[in-house]
Homo-oligomer: A and B are copies of this chain.
Amino acid sequence: MKLYDYTMAPNPRRVRIFIAEKGLDIENIAVDLGAKAQMEDAYRAKNPELLVPALELDDGTIIGESMAICRYLEEVHPEPPLLGRTAIEKATVEMWQRRMEMNGLAAVAEAFRNTVPGFAGRAIAGPHNYDQIPDLAARGLLRIEHFFNDLNNRLAASPFVAGEHYSVADITALVAVDFAKVAKKRPDESLTALSAWREKVSARPSAKA
């Protein structure tokens, strides 16, 4: 297996943390998004969606989309489980993972990609070009505030995002909270449950991935 990766982007980090939690050693291929290497023919032939991360299996199959990669790795390396154990837990992890993604990661991406000059005409990653929308950047900043508050409320009631166990929902949440710094947003110190959880999950060796 090979992971097509870019250190500074948030979605590849989700997968790197997942791999570290599983204790796996997967060959890493850097795709320099800064130099637009994902647009070049070599990568386009691998993943026409022009996104990283992507996982290439030994038979040549390409799996794109972070959660699809995590799903594959969970299937072939079930321990430790990061997508839930029982049916209820699996559904609950999926529910919370999605909320972290839509309300957290997507909000930061809205704020970031719609303002930074380097993403002019490229407000959405992928094969199509879309103009930046300043009002969408402003909405993203507001959504990040709501995300921090809602996450704090959740963590005041639960040790981990999806319940009693560390899961991929914590991974997505941590990546979103950390990534918010690109939009110059940090959780307020008054959000003590969020701060305590962030310290706890950041102390896991996987967080360095």
Contact = CB atoms under 8 A, between A and B. Distances in A.
B88 A61 contact: yes
A76 interface: yes
A63 B94 CA distance: 9
Contacts of A185: none
Interface stretch (A22-30, A66-74, A172-180): A66-74
Contacts of A71: 90-91, 94
Q: What is the count of identical protomers in the complex?
A: 2
A56 interface: no
Main secondary structure of the interface of A (DSSP, over half): helix
Q: How big is chain A's contact interface, by range?
A: 20 to 34
Interface of A: 49, 57, 61, 63-65, 67-69, 71-72, 75-76, 87-88, 90-92, 94-95, 98-99, 127-128, 130-131, 133, 135-136, 139, 142-143, 146, 150
B49 A68 contact: no
A191 to B, nearest CB: 16
A181 B100 CA distance: 30
Given A72-B90, A128-B146, A98 B65 contact: yes
Nearest to A145: B128
